[in-house]
Chain A
Amino acid sequence: MMRNAGYVNRFARITRLMEKIMAEMTLIDAIRQAMDEELARDPRVFIVGEDVGPRGGVFRATMGLHAKYGGDRIVDSPLAELSIIAIGIGAALDGLHPLCEIQFADFIHPAFNQIVNEAAKFYYRSGGTWNVPMTIRAPYGGGISGGLYHSQSLEALFAHVPGLKIVIPSNPYDAKGLLKSAIREPNPVLFFEPKKGYRLIKGDVPDGEYTVPIGPAQVTREGTDLSVFAYGMMHYYCLQAAEQVAKEGIRVEVVDLRTILPVDKQTILESVKKTSKALVVHEDTLTMGYGAEVAAIIAGEAFEYLDGPVMRLGGPDVPAVPFSHSLQDWFMPNPQKIAEAMRKLARY
C-alpha cells in the first residue's frame, strides 16, 4: 500500500512539473495569468472595472481573481468609464499600480479627457515630479458581430498623444509578457486586446516569470519580396496570408509591431531596406489609421530603398463596423484580402 502511494505520488509530481514548463493556452488565459502573477508579486497592483469582481469580467479575463485576492484588490466599478480612469489616475498618483479595465474599447470615450489631458500629461507637466503608473486594458476590434459599440479600433486616436504608450499583442506569449511590462511601467499604458482572438488565438506560454519589453517589434516570418506590418488580429491573419502566397512563390516578411507607441522604427526600416516593398495592414478604417504613420515613416526614411509604393490595407471609411454578418465580412480584412494585397504589391 505504502509503495503504491509513493509510486503514484512520484508520477503526479513529474506530470505537474512538465505542465509548469510550457502550456498551450488562449490569448485570454495568458492575459489572466499575467494579471494573476502581477497581483501576487506586487501588492500595489489592483484591478478596477465593470464586472471584474465576482463575475470575472464579461470575457472571463479576471475569472477567479476576486476569489483569490478579495474585493479590495479586484474592484467592481459603476458603469462610469470616466470614473474608472479618474480613480486609476488618483490611485497611481498615490503610489499604486492600478490596472483599469474598460469593458469594450468603444466605451473609452467618456474617459478620453482623463487619459489625454491628465494621465498623459502629468509627468511632463510636473517636471518629472508626478507620474501615473496606470495600465488601461480594453478589448478592441470587430469580427464578433458586435456592431457599433463593441467593434471599434482606437489605437490611431491615442497614438497621436505623446505621453501615452500603446501596446497591442497578437499572441498569448506576447500578451502575458507585454502586460507584465505594462503593469510595471511607470507611465500610462493602453493595452488593447484583439477580442476576436481571445479564444481563437492559442500558443505556448511558459509558466512563471518573464516579460516582453515594450517597444521592440518582432519579425515573425522572414521574407524577401515584401514586408507586411501588422498587429493584433490582423497579424494573425497576415501570417496565414503569407503562408498562402508562399505557395505561389511570393516570400513575405511579416513584422508584428506589438508596440504602437513608441513604434519600433528601426525594425520597420530594416525590413523595408531588405525587401523594398511595404504593406501595412490594420482593421481600423483606412483614413488616418495607424498605417498612415507607418507609411509616412517608410516613405520619409527608406525612400531610396523602395521598389514600389507603400501600401495600406484597412477597413473602409464608414462610421462603424456593421452589425449584419455579410456587411461585417465586407468590412473586415481577412487572409484572402490580405493575400490579394500582397500579390498586387509583389507584382508591381
Chain B
Amino acid sequence: MATQVVMPQLGESVVEGKVSRWLKKEGDTLKQYEPILEVETDKVTTQVTAAAGGTLLKLLVAEGLVVKAGTPLAVIGQPGEAMQDAAMPAAAGHAVAAPQMQAIGVQPGKMSGARVSPVVAKIAAEHDVDVSHIRGTGEGGRVTKKDILAYVESRAKSDLPPWEQPGSGDLFKPTEEAYATAPVLVQRSTLHAPPSTALPGDELMPLSTMRRSIAEHMLRSKTISPHVTTVFEVDMSRIIAHREANKAVFERDGARLTFTPYFVVASVAALKAYSQVNSSFTDQGLLIHKQINVGVAVSLGEEGLIVPVVKGADGMSLLGLARAVSDLAERARKKQLKPDDVVGSTFTLTNHGVSGSLFATPIIAQPNVAILGVGAIQKRVVVIGDAIAIRPMVYIGLTFDHRVLDGASGDAFAAKIKETLESWASS
C-alpha cells in the first residue's frame, strides 16, 4: 500500500514549510528512516525521513514551494502501485485524511488563489467549505468548480467522524495569525521592488531565504507599529564588577558569563513592573502575556540574524540565563535551532554594541511592543555631583510601539532597566 510523505508541522505554531531540497529523486529506493528531503521554515532547516522503506514513486511538490503542514509531498510504495489511495503516514501528528491544502507558490508578482468564482463561492457557502483548504487546478492556482465539487465529494466520503476533521475558527489558528493585528501589507510572494535600477556592470545577488525572511519581517514590523526610540545612558560599573567576580565561577558551572544575561534580568524586572510592555497589540485590546519570553538577537554575520527565545526568563537565575543564552547562541551559529526556539517571544533584546555601535533604533520583533538595543560599553567621562569621573557607560535604546506606550511609560520602563543595572549587587 503506497504511503504519502507530508509536510510536517515543524513547531507548535508553525503551519507551513518550504520544500528546500529534495535529497532523492523519483525512482530511488529508500530505506526506512532515510532522509528524503529538507524542509525549511523561516530560518530553520529540518530533514524529513521516510516512514517506511520502498521506492520513491512520485514527487508532488517542487523545490522552492511553500506549502501548509499536512500537504502531501511525495508518495512511497512499490513500483507500479496505484497512488490514488496512498495512505497518510500514521505518525504524522495529524491523523486526518487531510483535504488537499492550497500550495502557496512563491512566484513574484502572482497573487495565487485570490479569485473565487461565483459558482465556487456558492458551492462553498452551501457546503460550509473553506476555499483556502482546497488545492486549485485552475489558472494561477485558482480553485475551480471541479476542484470544490471533488473536495466536497471526498469530504463526504471521508471515514473520519466530524470531531476528527480539522476545525476552523479562531481557536484553531496559529498564534501569528490569531494575533496579527494590522493587515499584512506585504505578502510573501510580492515583496515590492522598485522599477529596475540596474546600471551597466551590475550583478544580481539572489536573496537567501533568511534575507528574504528578514526583509519581510522588518518591513512588516515598520508598517504595523509606529516606532519611537528613547535612549538612556547606564553606568555599568557594578555589572562589570559583578561579572569580574563571578566569571570563573560561572565558567566552572558550565556557563559563559557575558553581559547579555544581566540585561535579560534587568528587562525581566522592568517587564514585571510594567506588565503592559510584556504584551501584544490587538484590535480587541492589549493582550498582556503571562509568560515572559525574552528573544535574544544573535548575529550570523553576513548572512543575517536570528532571534532565539529564552522561554520563561522570569523563572531563571543569572546562571540559568547565562546557560540558556550561550546555548541558544551556539546552536544559532551552528544552524541547530529548532523551529520552536525562534517563536513565542514577548520582548526582545539586541546587543548591537558588539559591533561597535553606540546606540541605535532597533526594529520591533512583531508581535512584541518593544525592543531593547544595547550599545557598546565604553569608558566615558561623566559628571557625578560636581566631579568628573570615568565610568564604563552604555547607551540603551528602547524602541517601543507608540500605539501601546507613550514617552512617559516608555521612559519609565527604560528607567527601570537602568535602575536595575545600576543598583546591581556588585558581588
Inter-chain CA distance A80–B168, complex, in Å, is 75
- Point out the residues of chain B lying under 8 angstroms from A303, CB to CB: 118
Inter-chain CA distance A303–B120, complex, in Å, is 11
User: CB of A248 within 8 A of chain B?
Assistant: no
User: CB of A348 within 8 A of chain B?
Assistant: yes
Near A by CB (< 8 A), chain B positions 127-158 give 138-139, 142, 144-145
Inter-chain CA distance A307–B136, complex, in Å, is 13
User: CB of A306 within 8 A of chain B?
Assistant: yes
B363 to chain A, nearest CB (A): 42
By the criterion CB–CB under 8 Å, are B142 and A348 in contact? Answer: yes
Which residue on chain B has the smallest CB distance to residue A277?
Answer: B145
By the criterion CB–CB under 8 Å, are A305 and B118 in contact? Answer: yes
Known: A306-B118, A307-B120, A308-B117. A276 touches B145 (CB 8 A): yes
Inter-chain CA distance A305–B149, complex, in Å, is 13
Inter-chain CA distance A307–B142, complex, in Å, is 10
Which residue on chain B has the smallest CB distance to residue A303?
Answer: B118
Known: A276-B145, A307-B144. A348 touches B139 (CB 8 A): yes
Near B by CB (< 8 A), chain A positions 285-330 give 303-308
By the criterion CB–CB under 8 Å, are A348 and B118 in contact? Answer: no
B74 to chain A, nearest CB (A): 26
User: CB of A347 within 8 A of chain B?
Assistant: yes
Q: Mark B286-319, 1 if CB is under 8 A from A, else 0.
A: 0000000000000000000000000000000000
A279 to chain B, nearest CB (A): 16
B114 to chain A, nearest CB (A): 14
- Point out the residues of chain B lying under 8 angstroms from A347, CB to CB: 138-139
User: CB of B1 within 8 A of chain A?
Assistant: no
- Point out the residues of chain B lying under 8 angstroms from A276, CB to CB: 117, 119, 145
How many of chain A's residues have a CB under 8 angstroms from any CB in B? 9
- Consensus secondary structure, chain A interface: loop
User: CB of B333 within 8 A of chain A?
Assistant: no
Q: Which has the most chain B C-beta neighbours within 10 Å: A306, A307, A308, A347?
A: A307
User: CB of B379 within 8 A of chain A?
Assistant: no
Q: Mark A325-338, 1 if CB is under 8 A from B, else 0.
A: 00000000000000
Inter-chain CA distance A304–B145, complex, in Å, is 12
By the criterion CB–CB under 8 Å, are A348 and B122 in contact? Answer: no
Near A by CB (< 8 A), chain B positions 85-128 give 117-120, 122
A342 to chain B, nearest CB (A): 15
Which residue on chain A has the smallest CB distance to residue B117?
Answer: A307
- Point out the residues of chain A lying under 8 angstroms from B118, CB to CB: 303-307
- Point out the residues of chain A lying under 8 angstroms from B145, CB to CB: 276, 307
By the criterion CB–CB under 8 Å, are B122 and A304 in contact? Answer: yes
Known: A276-B145, A307-B144, A307-B145. A348 touches B138 (CB 8 A): yes
- Point out the residues of chain B lying under 8 angstroms from A306, CB to CB: 117-119
A203 to chain B, nearest CB (A): 34
By the criterion CB–CB under 8 Å, are B119 and A307 in contact? Answer: yes
Which residue on chain B has the smallest CB distance to residue A344?
Answer: B139
- Point out the residues of chain A lying under 8 angstroms from B120, CB to CB: 307
Which residue on chain A has the smallest CB distance to residue B120?
Answer: A307
Which residue on chain A has the smallest CB distance to residue B122?
Answer: A304
A193 to chain B, nearest CB (A): 37
Which residue on chain B has the smallest CB distance to residue A224?
Answer: B146
Inter-chain CA distance A303–B121, complex, in Å, is 11
Inter-chain CA distance A48–B145, complex, in Å, is 53
B403 to chain A, nearest CB (A): 42
A301 to chain B, nearest CB (A): 12
B34 to chain A, nearest CB (A): 37
Which residue on chain B has the smallest CB distance to residue A305?
Answer: B119
Q: Mark A230-273, 1 if CB is under 8 A from B, else 0.
A: 00000000000000000000000000000000000000000000
Inter-chain CA distance A348–B120, complex, in Å, is 13
A200 to chain B, nearest CB (A): 36
- Point out the residues of chain B lying under 8 angstroms from A305, CB to CB: 118-119, 122
- Point out the residues of chain B lying under 8 angstroms from A307, CB to CB: 117-120, 144-145
Inter-chain CA distance A226–B139, complex, in Å, is 16
Inter-chain CA distance A137–B301, complex, in Å, is 85
Inter-chain CA distance A305–B123, complex, in Å, is 9
Inter-chain CA distance A95–B122, complex, in Å, is 54
Inter-chain CA distance A348–B119, complex, in Å, is 13
Inter-chain CA distance A276–B119, complex, in Å, is 7
- Point out the residues of chain B lying under 8 angstroms from A308, CB to CB: 117
- Point out the residues of chain B lying under 8 angstroms from A348, CB to CB: 138-139, 142, 144
Inter-chain CA distance A276–B120, complex, in Å, is 10
Which residue on chain B has the smallest CB distance to residue A306?
Answer: B118
Which residue on chain B has the smallest CB distance to residue A275?
Answer: B145
- Point out the residues of chain A lying under 8 angstroms from B138, CB to CB: 347-348
Inter-chain CA distance A306–B118, complex, in Å, is 6
A347 to chain B, nearest CB (A): 6
Inter-chain CA distance A348–B141, complex, in Å, is 10
Inter-chain CA distance A348–B137, complex, in Å, is 9
- Point out the residues of chain A lying under 8 angstroms from B119, CB to CB: 276, 304-307
A309 to chain B, nearest CB (A): 9
- Point out the residues of chain B lying under 8 angstroms from A304, CB to CB: 118-119, 122
Inter-chain CA distance A326–B119, complex, in Å, is 41
Inter-chain CA distance A303–B117, complex, in Å, is 9
B391 to chain A, nearest CB (A): 71
A-contacting residues of B (Cβ < 8 Å)?
Answer: 117-120, 122, 138-139, 142, 144-145
**Given A276-B119, A305-B119, 17 more pairs with CB closer than 8 A:** A276-B117, A276-B145, A304-B118, A304-B119, A304-B122, A306-B117, A306-B118, A306-B119, A307-B119, A307-B120, A307-B145, A308-B117, A347-B138, A347-B139, A348-B138, A348-B139, A348-B142
B-contacting residues of A (Cβ < 8 Å)?
Answer: 276, 303-308, 347-348
Would you mind naming 10 contact pairs between A and B with Cβ atoms under 8 Å apart? A276-B119, A303-B118, A304-B118, A305-B122, A307-B118, A307-B119, A307-B145, A308-B117, A348-B138, A348-B139
Q: Which 7 A-B pairs have the closest CB atoms?
A: A307-B145, A307-B119, A307-B117, A276-B119, A304-B118, A276-B145, A306-B118
